[in-house]
Structure 1
Amino acid sequence: MLKKKVLFVFLLCLVILTQAVQPTKAEGSFIKISVKEGYAGKVKSGRGFPVQVTVENSGADFTGDILFNFASSYNSNGAKVLSIDVPKGSKKTYSLSLPAFSEEYYNNNTQVKQSIFLYKGSWKDDHEQAFIGDKKLKPKYIDQGSRTLGMLSEDSDRLKELKVMATSNQIETIVLTEEMIPDDELGLDSLDYIMIDEFGISKLKNTKQQAILKWVQNGGKLIAGAAPNAAGSYGSLYQVLPMKPDKEVLTDTKFFQATPTLPPFKDIPVFVGQLDKGANVAVKSGDLPMVVHKGYGSGEIWQTAFSLGDEPLSSWKDYGHWFAVSPMLKGTSTFQFQKGGPNPFDMLFNEFAEVNEYFASSQFSIGQISLFLLVYLLLLVPFLYFLLKRLDKREHAWWIIMGVAFISSVGIFVIGAKDRIAKPQMNQTGIYKTENGQLNGFEAVTFLSNTGGDYQLDFSKGKFYGVPGSSMMPVNDGKRYAVLENGRKTNSVTFPNVEYWSTRTYFGQASKQNAGQFDINLSYENKKLSGKIVNHFPYDFEELYIWSGGKKIKVGPVKSGESVSVNETMQQDYLAGPYSQGNSYKQPTSQQEVDELKREKMEYAAIEFLYNNSQSENQPILYGYTKDSVIKADIKGKNEARKGLSLIYQTLNIQTKLSGSFTIKDDMLKNHINTIRGGIINDMTGRRNEMELDDGEYDYVLELPSQLAKMNRKLKELEITWQGANVTYSLLNHKTGTFLPLPKSHTTIKEHLDQYISEDGAIIIKLIKAGQGDPLVRMPELSIKGEINS
């Protein structure tokens, strides 16, 4: 009988406990969540994108947080917070932007069953709620080797010829609607270009208009077509357009002569007006500007005097071809994947952010430890022996020796750990380029905890769109590793349950507007560089350098608002863009080696991730180190010990006077490769002129140093040398548009050289790789001889 009573009580308790637990999960079942990710469901792997979130509430008033888990790479994951307030019986639509989604992770991880989580109240209270609807983001991925072109038009059919052009040139076109435009620039990160064709930008919310402007400032390319009422149509964008059209005229169509055939119509209406200061004309029709452009932050704004989608231009069969070869679609300045290449976040962490995790600490050298042991064994033990023997107290030796050993161990521990016990430590490392007064680049923030618990990093004074550093946490539990939140004045990332003496890293793209610049007034003549540099940044630089080719010249320190004079003799006849000799993978054994390794990696990353991905001409740079941080970071509720180091560079446009003969080797030529078909497996093989490529077709582009490209030059000889099998090479004739085959591994050209070098100093060699052989391809080596006509 007693057993039956005990069994009854046990079952009753089990029922009560079950009923107590069930309402917590069921309480939110009246919430339905629907999501639209990216642009018509498409995103670019490794790039930011918008998410539209619709929340329907069929129950009581609900206030809470939704967490969206993401993985920027296989080893980096976190969650982004969206706070919602949905009254009873209502339906609301929200938007947020995620920093990245990794195709390589989500395609290979079938264990991710849920990546969207709902919480009642704050997510920190951990009151998870059940809901119906979408439980996981499932975007489609745009090919990594493609560029993305977003089209804003009153009728996308007007741009049908440009859609055909884009497909044949590895450009993915995305028809944008008002709802797709996010409220911040991070959501536009998946786009390389935005084209506007008679679309009413002014009808967009101001936050959306500002998002487009900031996207351009961060490296995007905006292509704006003409409109009858540009001032009223373009809204906030009108003030930054390179041309302010105020009259309509007719002009002939001969400026389309880059196409195989001229248009069947003789003239088109265009809208022209005053050009802004700093605007450049790329295409003319007589004296009228047809295509103009100017830099804006780190990006560019291109503007046409003609409508992009009006008839009869929109129906001309060669319109797409003309647009494809126009300068408007030359390259992008956005850090991105190469098809088949390594994940950019893994690259950025390994080559830049990881070194930020080295923290200074008190250490004993081998000599100090040896001296301590010598004193302990040779002096303390014999001394105690004779002292205690004399006092006839030898029975006390055991506890005295143990006590000295214990006190010594505690002392060694305290000396070695004193920095880690007192307060958390924080390292900040940044690399930035300055253009038009704006800083754009990458930042890494790492802290070393002094206690266990939650750590919240707050960021202000700039934009910082980062991702958590490498971790082994499962992606379906992102809230356990790092949670990102956007506030009105600051953004934050919270790392829950941090262990004692553990590091956490947050890194990614960062920018700051109105940050200042260097005022540079330098001239170069007879290998002598002279002039003055004024520091208009709010930062003190502990050292400035000029970097040309593989040479670095130390200029000296300069404080904010002060100037430094330059008077250096160089070994180069001309100055060119910088190139890095490769990165070091040594393991530092001292603080001095850590500091040296950090600067080495910062310089390498600045060239590989910023300079080589920018639209800068082949120009030298001025760069410096400052201990001031561009992005302000704080650990909430902690008095952390901080250490910052930022590298900031600016390209040099130097007044150059050259005369006489010159010889240019390929190490003074800025280069990049454009994929026509195929894919880049690895472009960081450790050697400057080697890459690993899939079978396919590629254009290898080399650029003359900026000052040579603009001078009155006479070219006398062009030598091209190449090595390897399963690859054929040909040289572009810019005048005829045809390619000259290079059947011999060593080719010398002495006639009509100007046909093979464009007006802006570009040389293009086509590579066609065939056969399933070694992916390693050595790029052709060039030597150019000529003379300057003064």
Structure 2
Amino acid sequence: MRTEGGRGFGLAGLALALSFLAGSWAAGDVYAASGQSAAGLTLEVSYGYDGNAKSGRYSPMDVSLTNENEESFQGVLKVATMEYDYEVYSYEYPISVDSGNTLEQEIDIPIGGGSDQVFVSVLDGNGNKVTQKRLKIESSRETAELFVGLLSEHPERLAYLDNVGVSYGALRTRAFSISTEDFPQEENGLDMLDVLVVNDYRLRNLTEEQTGAIMDWVEDGGVMILGTGNRVDDTLGRFAPELLDDSYDNPLVMEIRPEGDGEEDELENEVVEVPCVRVSLHGGTVLTADRGYPLLSVAMREQGVVAVTAYDLGDVAEYGQRHTGFVDGLFTDILGEERISGLASALYGGSGEEYWSVQSAINTGNVEKLPNVGLYFLVTAAYIGLAGPGLYIILKKRENRGRYGVCVAAASVVFTVILYCMGMKTRFTGIFVTYATVEDLTKDTVTETSYVNLRNPYSKPYQVELDPAYTVTPVTRNEFYFYDGGRRTFTGEESSHVSVYYGQNETEVTLRDAAAFESQYFRLTRKQENETGAGLTGNIRYYDGRVTGTVTNQFPFDLETVAVLLYGRLVPVGDLAAGDTVKLDDLESYSIPVGNPYAVASFITGLSAYEEADINDKDYMKALERTNLLSFYMQSNLGGYRSDARVVAFGPKDGEKKRAWDERYEDFGLTMLTSALDVDSTSGRMRYRSGMLKRPAVVQGSFDPASNMSYTQEPVTVEYSLGGDLEVSRVEFVPVDGQFSDEKESGGQKVFSGDIYIYDHMTGSFERMEESVLEGEELWRFLSPENGITVRYIGGDTAGYSWALLPMPMVTGREK
């Protein structure tokens, strides 16, 4: 019999043991298994830059594994993370460490948003865990953070950029330095950054691969700010050929107001004396100017932004420390409201927008797999007629009714075989892949982005092999909106729902616990050399509302549904044979809505010409599939102002190169081809561009600045900033063409019809526009000192509730 004291001692010992185990786990447990001594393997892991990383993004990870055992070690490095769907995804790499050696490995891992923990473990050859580290991703739970990477030889001079509220506190900056030694070679290593500031730094210290990674990151949505001043050659010189229209002059010491001469506060006269240089960005605009001298210029680079300051950001450090509003305004102007809103929503786990967009883009399905309902009905009716009165009447006439049962059974077998054979083409017998691919081609490279949906007709684990050149990223929905239990606990002991094994010869994606026909979405990306010179080339000029120039098909096959997309303007080309060149001068162009990609895509593909859906019509289904992919691409890649043109096209199915899954799995999908072309919108020193280059400000009413739409039931007043780098001579309000106002295709959107009023700064009142053009001496009455124009729209069609597509303000002016 145990005494009370003995029982108390046992409980105390058990509590002590549990406390020790819990403490070991929290510190990063070390496990021993399969005869491999944990003490003989030392695992060290660091992530991000200075321990900074962001959930839902790729993060660089440095892994060090030291083998102090007498035998070499071969196994697997496994990184486990929990995604937004609360499933565990693991990324695995084969490793080998000789006795007495240390393995150093750098990898980029997508940090899942379902947990703030990541587990890094080493498995032996039998899959047993040998050692493990737990990593805690530190992030604010109160305010969304703006990650600002500092590439500078003196980052301490940029400390004032840290811990500053942006856009009324929607974001708070977290600035940290990135050393030359740690700077990544690939784009994914920069994915965790929202902004990269290059200042007081010699960019030529980076390799070509590293500077190439910067531009790839920018074009995929990154924001880069370049400080200049006395070191303009070092920070801007390497990018000058692709970013600048003209060469820049030597820096001059000037007295400037860093926030520009448009700021109206008690400190507007405060000046700083710093070296400045005038920079003219290709396709750029001036956001901040002081007495006509450009201080902050920005230019769109596909999905991203390049901003250049006329001064060294370190030279205005004292000013920035005294006036945090300067830093707030700098980031707010460069990022824009839409980008800030998207970053702020990440605090709540994101919206899963990519998941839903991908789902609609690639889930059209293969209609050839649909059964012929009419044929099935006829066969079934024939069986019923034969097995019922048919056989009975026949056997009765032959006085052989005793064989009725046998004949019915035989007929059942025969018709079962017939139905089975009829269903063979509709039956899935193994893994099948639905995909949508976009190939973006330049003179030197081909960037392929494929969204795939993997499915299996059986409820059992399965594996898919891919080209090792692909980077595999899961696309998941945010289960926070569907799961009532809050965040799930992630201990690192859970089995992986999906594992991605990066082998030398192929990448293996394994799915476990998958239900039959359950969808699993991934984004596959790879970049290769353009060895054949394929693509869409040409030259385009867009001035005074006319699009001219040429486009040439450099592919070895004919192209279909070719179109040229500019911001607010479309030129449908149609079919283009291999090697042929088309003159855009002879083609009709259209003014298009900037916020309704589906309406534009359906017009390009011809889907809008169909009055009703018909899944039995192959041409209709082809138009639908192309519309879904094109609208997804436009929404993901062509949102916001851009100065270049994008040529899109579709090739024939037999013209597509083999995909990683073509020969192994049943697949269905399509590929879209794109190329970017520069646009000349100048005539001497005159420039022609959209008045929405900078986000319009809403003064009154319901207005969507990203889509340039207003609510039809109430007047709306909008202030357009036309840019401080132009002496504006003409403003034309170009209406959206009527082809895009059909409610069936445009979601109830209508082309604005009503009156337009312009604010007159001389009289202090609004004046009704009689014509759609303002020019000459009368224009000056409507321009503010900062080159702004205030417009009031009063709709004339008040029937129903809908959004109106407002006209696009197009600006002509002389460069200052």
- TM-score class, shorter-chain normalisation, is 0.5 to 0.7
Supply the distance in 2 between the matched residues of 1:209 and 1:520 (Cα, whole angstroms): 26
| Aligned partners of 2:85 and 2:478 also within 8 Å | no
Q: What displacement does 1:444 show?
A: 0.9
- Change beyond 3 A, Cα 1:215–1:518: same
Deviates more, 1:190-199 or 1:349-358: 349-358
Aligned to 2:500: 484
Supply the distance in 1 between the matched residues of 2:253 and 2:477 (Cα, whole angstroms): 58
- 1:483-521 Cα distance to aligned partner (Å, 9 max, x none): 234567876544457677665431367767768654456
Aligned to 2:92: 81
Supply the distance in 2 between the matched residues of 1:687 and 1:277 (Cα, whole angstroms): 25
SS at match of 1:65: strand
Aligned to 1:212: 214
Q: What displacement does 1:437 show?
A: 7.8
SS at match of 1:43: coil
Supply the distance in 2 between the matched residues of 1:789 and 1:202 (Cα, whole angstroms): 36
Q: Give the alignment of 1:257-656 within 5 angstroms.
A: 258=260, 260-261=267-268, 266=273, 268=275, 299-303=304-308, 306-310=311-315, 313-317=316-320, 325=329, 330-331=334-335, 337-340=342-345, 346-357=352-363, 358-379=365-386, 381-389=388-396, 393-418=400-425, 420=427, 424-430=431-437, 443-449=450-456, 454-459=462-467, 464=471, 466-468=473-475, 480-486=496-502, 493-495=509-511, 503-507=519-523, 518-519=536-537, 532-536=550-554, 540-545=558-563, 554-564=572-582, 577=594, 579-580=596-597, 595=622, 597-612=624-639, 614-616=640-642, 623-626=648-651, 633-635=659-661, 638=664, 640-646=666-672, 648=674, 653=679
SS at match of 1:258: coil
Supply the distance in 2 between the matched residues of 1:38 and 1:163 (Cα, whole angstroms): 17
Alpha-carbon RMSD across the aligned residues, in angstroms, is: 6.1
Q: What displacement does 1:314 show?
A: 3.3
Identity, % of aligned pairs?
A: 14
- Change beyond 3 A, Cα 1:537–1:148: farther
Q: What displacement does 1:297 show?
A: 6.5
Indicate yes or no: 2:66 matched with 1:50: no
Q: What displacement does 1:544 show?
A: 2.5
SS at match of 2:314: coil
SS at match of 2:38: coil
Deviates more, 1:88-97 or 1:549-558: 549-558
The alignment's TM-score, normalised by the length of structure 1, stands at: 0.67
Amino acid at match of 1:149: V
- Change beyond 3 A, Cα 1:222–1:517: farther
- Change beyond 3 A, Cα 1:149–1:597: same
Q: What displacement does 1:651 show?
A: 7.8
Q: What displacement does 1:40 show?
A: 3.6
SS at match of 1:364: coil
- 1:643-676 Cα distance to aligned partner (Å, 9 max, x none): 323264758958799xxxxxxxx9x97896999x
From 6, 29, 34, the counterpart of 2:38: 29
Q: What displacement does 1:558 show?
A: 1.8
| Aligned partners of 1:253 and 1:285 also within 8 Å | no
SS at match of 2:420: helix
- 1:295-321 Cα distance to aligned partner (Å, 9 max, x none): 6665454455644325xx433457866
Supply the distance in 2 between the matched residues of 1:488 and 1:53 (Cα, whole angstroms): 19
- 1:561-580 Cα distance to aligned partner (Å, 9 max, x none): 323455788796x6664624
Supply the distance in 1 between the matched residues of 2:438 and 2:428 (Cα, whole angstroms): 30
- Change beyond 3 A, Cα 1:196–1:605: same
Which blocks of at least 5 consecutive residues in structure 1 are unaligned? 1-21, 658-665, 676-682, 691-698, 718-730, 743-748, 766-776
Aligned to 2:686: none
- 1:340-393 Cα distance to aligned partner (Å, 9 max, x none): 478557222212235524344443344223222222222465443344445555
| Aligned partners of 1:76 and 1:471 also within 8 Å | no
| Aligned partners of 1:467 and 1:506 also within 8 Å | yes
Supply the distance in 1 between the matched residues of 2:204 and 2:271 (Cα, whole angstroms): 35
| Aligned partners of 2:226 and 2:236 also within 8 Å | no
Amino acid at match of 1:129: K
The alignment's TM-score, normalised by the length of structure 2, stands at: 0.65
- 1:516-568 Cα distance to aligned partner (Å, 9 max, x none): 65445667899987764323457743212466899977531124432345578
- Change beyond 3 A, Cα 1:167–1:687: closer
- Change beyond 3 A, Cα 1:762–1:233: same
- Change beyond 3 A, Cα 1:624–1:288: same
Supply the distance in 2 between the matched residues of 1:489 and 1:307 (Cα, whole angstroms): 48
Aligned to 2:187: 185
- Change beyond 3 A, Cα 1:209–1:670: closer
Amino acid at match of 2:112: F
- Change beyond 3 A, Cα 1:716–1:356: closer
Q: What displacement does 1:129 show?
A: 1.5
| Aligned partners of 1:481 and 1:495 also within 8 Å | yes
SS at match of 1:405: helix
Q: Give the alignment of 1:106-125 within 5 angstroms.
A: 106=115, 115-121=119-125
- Change beyond 3 A, Cα 1:162–1:457: same
Deviates more, 1:330-339 or 1:83-92: 330-339
Amino acid at match of 2:575: P
| Aligned partners of 2:368 and 2:426 also within 8 Å | yes
| Aligned partners of 2:498 and 2:510 also within 8 Å | yes
- Change beyond 3 A, Cα 1:636–1:430: closer
Supply the distance in 2 between the matched residues of 1:590 and 1:480 (Cα, whole angstroms): 41
Supply the distance in 2 between the matched residues of 1:146 and 1:408 (Cα, whole angstroms): 66
Q: In proportion to residue count, which structure has more strand?
A: 1
Amino acid at match of 2:649: G
Q: What displacement does 1:420 show?
A: 4.5
- Change beyond 3 A, Cα 1:44–1:224: same
Supply the distance in 1 between the matched residues of 2:568 and 2:297 (Cα, whole angstroms): 35
Amino acid at match of 1:412: L
Aligned to 1:175: 176
Alignment: residue pair count: 693
Supply the distance in 1 between the matched residues of 2:424 and 2:514 (Cα, whole angstroms): 18
Indicate yes or no: 2:100 matched with 1:131: no
Supply the distance in 2 between the matched residues of 1:787 and 1:177 (Cα, whole angstroms): 40
Aligned to 1:148: 147
- Change beyond 3 A, Cα 1:182–1:552: closer
Deviates more, 1:479-488 or 1:367-376: 479-488
- Change beyond 3 A, Cα 1:787–1:68: closer
Q: What displacement does 1:429 show?
A: 0.7
Supply the distance in 2 between the matched residues of 1:294 and 1:525 (Cα, whole angstroms): 19
- Change beyond 3 A, Cα 1:447–1:562: farther
Supply the distance in 2 between the matched residues of 1:643 and 1:650 (Cα, whole angstroms): 24
Supply the distance in 2 between the matched residues of 1:184 and 1:198 (Cα, whole angstroms): 23
- Change beyond 3 A, Cα 1:566–1:236: closer
- Change beyond 3 A, Cα 1:460–1:96: closer
| Aligned partners of 1:485 and 1:491 also within 8 Å | yes
Which blocks of at least 5 consecutive residues in structure 2 are unaligned? 1-30, 262-266, 603-611, 684-689, 699-703, 712-716, 735-756, 767-773, 793-800
Supply the distance in 2 between the matched residues of 1:49 and 1:522 (Cα, whole angstroms): 39
